[in-house]
Amino acid sequence: MYKHRDCTTMLTEGATAPEFSLPGVPADQSEGIEQYELAEARKTSPVLINFYLFDFNPQCRRNVCDLHDMSWFDLDSDLQVFGISTDSTFSHREFAKQEGLDFPLLSDNDGSVAEAYGVLIDELQGHKRIARRAIYLIDETGTVRYSWIADSPDTQPDWERVKAVVEAVKT
């Protein structure tokens, strides 16, 4: 169980997803830092947002690697995947390289996007303003079609359920 005070309430299915523009490490882990906008990404496909606590945290490694290891994400050009945490793009780049990730990792360095999505933790083990583990699927109209939030840092989503909703949104 998270030991914290929640700052906001999680978005639910049917809500309008808050727009954002965040710096991030490209899927190819090139040296540049790119700017990623939800509005731009959802023009061509649904967007799966995976909020996670920290790069290199053992449970977050499992979460992000589970997402990476599902070949249906890797092979699906009709779905944009973003990993978002409050870590820096520099940490993201090393994490992506070590884990062989092939989707962008975005830096919500002030926690404002996590707060807008209702997953901000104001403090956890001495770290301030971090993202709680959560999954959102946003369709091309900007509507939240799936939302899930972890009750504890070691809880993982039901990836088969996520896949089913992704397939339903795409059809």
Pair of tokens at residue 169: 């949104």
Residues with catalytic function: 60
What gap in Å lies between CA 39 and CA 47, rounded to an integer? 10
Backbone φ, ψ for residue 138 (5° rounding): -110, 125
DSSP H helices in the chain: 38-41, 58-69, 71-74, 89-99, 112-116, 159-170
CA 133 to chain centre: 8
